[in-house]
Structure 1
Amino acid sequence: MTTNATTIASRLPLIAPELLRGLVPTMLINLLCAVVVTYLMRIGAGFVENLVFSMCIGTTAMVLIDCGRIFLWGKDEPNKPGFFLMLLIFAPLSFFIGNAIASALIGRPIEWFTLSQANNTIGIIVLILLVCVGATLFYWNREKMAALEARNVIIEKQAVQAQLQMLQAQIEPHMLFNTLATLQTLISTEPIRAQQMLDQLIHYLRATLSTSRSTQTSLGQEFELTKAYLGLMSLRMGLRLTYSLQLPDELKPTPIAPMLLQPLVENAIRHGLEPKVEGGDCTVRVNVHDGMLIVSVFDTGMGLSTTTSYNKPESIHLGLENIRARLDALYGPLAELTLTHNIPQGTVAQITIPLTALDPNPTR
């Protein structure tokens, strides 16, 4: 008894959303029934009166059937024989309850089942039963389509995660080869600095390997990886590179997909600061504004080309389009990546993600 009471209590919150979701379709079905009863079956005193009765009877049927379905089966698919038996009981019951409510609303005496009304009453009950069955089949198919759509979304996200893991397994060749070449030069000329660079490279590779084995990370972990990468780059570029990492403590546990920030920092170094003779500064900053998580990478490098598209779907930059595709698949259309000019010089790459879309288990 306690288990049944607990089960019913846990299903109570499901009732209101289900009733609200079925309200508009039910109103349309009730309107159609009023038209059929008035102009095809030619029953009742007129359309307005029949509409009142149809609304009361149809809405009562919806409430009884939805509540019965939720109490008996919850979110599970109903047992078909049991469900149709429930329809056979609730269809005539809905007629009598709705009839009483409608009679009270229009101020006329309640007329129960009399011999003179038998044919009309039976006809209306059969009509209600058919409508209930039709509506039930409609909702059944709608639920199955929704389940299939949800499954497709999960499959799509899993495919994106598989592509992401392949991407994570690849160390950026340009950075790695240049670092090894620098190490080869420093071993004979500056062995202490070479040792520091080797230690930093090992630290970076360990951080990258750890990230590549997960489908979800946190901003704190992503910043540790970014710090290792920028530390390695600063040893290689020397005084030509300065950097700053700005992540509030309260945002460190925030879940995020891996390898969203890292490519933007690599782009800032490779395309912005490395080609510049005097180098420059790279700043990575995270903040929250109007329900959006904003991750920004500022550099004072070469800046954006004035003849190239960076923020349009037809952008030729495959790395940027890869990030945009992953953002859309993982966090929805409101998540975006934009590139703008940094004032007075350089580039700003910015990712915005709705806080409501940040799920600790994105593939669930």
Structure 2
Amino acid sequence: MHTVALTPTSAGQIRRSLWRNLLITLLVNTLAGVFFSLTSEAPAWRVMLTTHTVGVSVFVALTLTFTVIKPSPSREPFYFMGAIIVGGVLGLAINWLVRLDEVAWIVIEYPRYLLASLIVMMLSAAMVASVLWGREKIGRLEAAYHAEQAKRGSQDKMLMQAQLRMLQAQIEPHFLFNTLASVQSLIDVSPIMAKQMLGLFNDYLRGSLARTRDAKATVRQELELLRTYLGILQIRMADRLHFEIDCPDTLQDALLPPMLLQPLVENAIRHGLEPKVAGGTVRITVHSEAGQLIADVCDDGLGLPAGVYGDGVGLTNVHARLGTLYGSQAQLALRAQAGGGVCARVNLPLEH
């Protein structure tokens, strides 16, 4: 239920992007319709109608926003969320008008159906739209890279490639759809927790989109985003996940590449704690030593799987970004903990 913001330059590129993203939208709508059909008592055709009307409406709203209005980069996140809200509400309105004979029955018999439909469809649209929008930003970075590679030295080329890998690593459909499934399951059994997860997801989406435009982030911003990310996972994993974050006030404004630590936290959860029946704790600590900013991400999970934890895309990207930005002055090291689990340490020059 889903769409994308488009900013290609030529008419041919615009047409190709429109058709490509419309096809992606229809495909994801269909997959979402199948998913919701399996978890809903409503007839499959009704569910499919809802997913497609909402998805195509959001697609049209986002396409018009980014090809006609063309907001400035600083305002893109606000227009992005506004277009999703307008498109989602319009799509649900169209869906209910088409099913006019059922509207009164729904309102009387299932008043919470209206709220649940709006929340689930809007969240689904926001998730997939954010993925597609992020991939459009990747396309823009790639175009800029190819335009500049004749002018720039090898160091600048490596930096832009690392930025591309960083942005790709941020787009995590697995996390997005798990969040959607969790919210859907919580709507009936615990509306308060569903609302809490929606709030955290909104904060995470806003923060991660804002970070894609920044060359550097403060430790405070990095840890706040990680706290939000872990808060979402904590609702999903319940008592199986605990986390601790420790950073002295003197280092809160220190600078580091944005979202540098998130792949380390993702690996700790995915490979260490999720497979462990009892779960465990993720500890994030930041300190300084001899002019170096040092960040540790440790877990007490299952330990270091051979050939998995150290060779993942996320860790490869962290290595590449550190090497490109700091050369031999920064490093990433993994070590197994004596009591079980893994500790990942990032060292980089301390700067404010």
> TM-score band, normalised by the shorter chain?
0.5 to 0.7
Match of 1:189 in 2: 189
Partner of residue 178, structure 1? 178
Question: Which residue matches 2:274?
Answer: 274
- Cα separation, 2, equivalents of 1:150 and 1:187: 52
Structure with greater contact order relative to length (CA < 8 Å, sep ≥ 6): 2
Match of 2:163 among 161, 169, 187: 161
Mapping 1:265-344, distance limit 5 Å: 265-305=265-305, 307-308=306-307, 316-344=311-339
Q: 1:151, CA displacement in angstroms?
A: 4.5
Q: Which moved further from structure 2: 334-343 or 228-237?
A: 334-343
Q: Which residue does 1:209 correspond to in 2?
A: 209
Mapped to 1, the partners of 2:249 and 2:157 lie a distance apart of 34
2:287 counterpart SS class: strand
CA distance in structure 2 between the aligned counterparts of 1:274 and 1:223, rounded to whole angstroms: 21
Query: Structure 1 residue 317: deviation in Å?
Result: 2.4
CA distance in 1, matches of 2:278, 2:308: 26
Show the counterpart of 1:257.
257
Please report how far the alpha carbon of residue 201 of structure 1 lies from its aligned counterpart in structure 2 after TM superposition.
1.2
Give the 3 Å change call, closer, same or farther, for CA 344–202 of structure 1 in structure 2.
same
CA distance in 1, matches of 2:340, 2:168: 34
Deviations 1:122-164 (A, max 9, x none): xxxxxxxxxxxxxxxxxxxxxxxxxx99954334323433443
Q: Report what 1:226 is aligned to.
A: 226
Secondary structure at the aligned position of 2:303 is classed as coil
* Counterpart-to-counterpart distance in 1, 2:182 and 2:347: 36
Given the alignment of the two structures, is residue 348 of structure 1 paired with residue 348 of structure 2, yes or no? no
What are the superposed Cα offsets for residues 301-326 of structure 1, whole Å, 9 maximum, x if unpaired? 11112x4386xxxx632321221111
Kept in 2: contact 1:165–1:213 (CA 8 A): no
Deviation at 1:206, TM superposition (A): 1.2
- How much does 1:330 deviate? 0.5
TM superposition shift of 1:277: 1.0
Give the letter aligned to residue 219 of structure 1.
Answer: V
Q: Secondary structure at the match of 1:332?
A: helix
What SS class does the counterpart of residue 311 from structure 2 fall into? coil
In structure 1, distance between residues paired with 2:313 and 2:298 = 20
- Paired residues of 1:161 and 1:215 also in contact (CA < 8 A): no
Question: Match of 2:286, as an amino acid?
Answer: V
Higher Rg: 1
Offset of residue 253 of structure 1: 1.1
Secondary structure (helix, strand or coil) at the match of 1:345 reads coil
Q: State the distance in 2 between where 1:244 and 1:202 align.
A: 22
Could you say what the CA RMSD is over the residues aligned between the two structures, in angstroms? 2.3
The residue identity in structure 1 corresponding to 2:185 is T
* Distance in structure 2 (CA, Å) of the matches to 1:340 and 1:251: 24
- What TM-score, normalized to structure 1? 0.52
CA distance in structure 2 between the aligned counterparts of 1:245 and 1:219, rounded to whole angstroms: 11
For the residue of structure 1 that corresponds to 2:332, the secondary structure is strand
Q: 1:216 to 1:354 in 2, by over 3 A?
A: closer
Cα deviations by residue, 1:257-302 (Å, 9 ceiling, x for unpaired): 1121011111111111111111111110011122221110011111
1:346 positional shift: 0.9
| 1:21-32 superposed matches below 5 A | none
CA distance in 2, matches of 1:165, 1:320: 14
Q: In structure 1, how many angstroms separate the alpha carbons of the residues matched to 2:321 and 2:196? A: 35
Normalised TM-score (structure 2): 0.54
Secondary structure of the corresponding residue to residue 333 of structure 2? strand
Counterpart-to-counterpart distance in 2, 1:178 and 1:256? 29
Go from structure 1 to structure 2 and tell me whether the alpha carbon gap of 1:309 and 1:158 turns closer, same or farther (over 3 Å shift). closer
CA offset digits 1:90-145 (Å, max 9, x no partner): xxxxxxxxxxxxxxxxxxxxxxxxxxxxxxxxxxxxxxxxxxxxxxxxxxxxxxxx
Q: Distance in 2 between matches of 1:162 and 1:186?
A: 35
Number of equivalent positions? 203
